Amino acid sequence: MFGFLRKLFGSFSGGTNPFAPWRDKVNQGIPNSNGMPTSIEEGMEWQAADFVAAFSHSGSPIDGSKLDYSEASLALVDQVLDDFHRRREPLPDDLHFLTSAYVFEVARRAFGGRYLRGDKDNPFVLAIGRGEAEIGVCVMAKVRGRVVNGPEDSIPFFYAGIAPVVASGRGAMLI
């Protein structure tokens, strides 16, 4: 971990971590014998795939076959979150995590990066680039914000802001 993200978030140890049950085994070099992910990246990939699977059945509110990790697919994610916003229902924690993982993986497939430990509002941050050009992408608070605040926290709009920052070559934190 490099740059200002290290100063903000420190190392990936301690604190609440949804991947904690297997993290210690991975860090100790214990082989993956129980079907658990071997890295944070793999864990996030699996969670994103679970998001896709959750919407890949008949009667789903969105067409899960269009959840192809493209920028365009984020409109479907936004639609799911908008349904919660319109009904004024809180986003369940498990769906919050799966949704965040999907948005993270769309960004990581397009821009690369690695996951770092975050804070209470953003337990994970996608770090793109290194050194002075390191960009932290805080998806988790944005996903929750979309449900609470509505269209002002649009996921497609948020995502569209990543490419210009990456192209600028300057470090930033996207919240």
- The pTM of this model reads 0.82
Question: Cα separations (Å) of 139 from 4, 38, 45, 99?
Answer: 18, 22, 15, 9
Quick: pLDDT tens for 52-107: 999 999 999 999 999 999 999 999 999 999 999 999 999 999 999 999 999 999 99
Quick: pLDDT tens for 104-147: 999 999 999 999 999 999 999 999 999 999 999 999 999 999 99
Helices 139-149 and 74-87 pack at an angle, to 10 degrees, of 40
Q: Please, what sign has the CA dihedral across residues 148, 47, 4, 28?
A: positive
Residue 166: pLDDT above 90? Answer: yes
Rounded Cα distance between 72 and 70, Å, is: 5
Question: Cα separations (Å) of 47 from 98, 134, 172?
Answer: 5, 25, 26
Q: Please say whether the beta carbons of 109 and 91 come within 8 A.
A: no
What integer pLDDT is reported at residue 36 of this predicted model?
85
Assigned token pair, 140: 């988790």
Q: What is the CB neighbour count within 10 angstroms for residue 152?
A: 9
What integer pLDDT is reported at residue 25 of this predicted model?
32
pLDDT band for 37, please (50, 70, 90 cuts).
confident
pLDDT band for 34, please (50, 70, 90 cuts).
low
Residue 8: pLDDT above 90? Answer: no
Cα angle 101-106-107, degrees, rounded to a multiple of 5:
100
What integer pLDDT is reported at residue 2 of this predicted model?
36
What integer pLDDT is reported at residue 7 of this predicted model?
41
Place of tokens 């300057």: 170
| Choice between 36 and 97, residue whose per-residue pLDDT is larger | 97
Strand (E) or helix (H) holding 127: strand 124-128
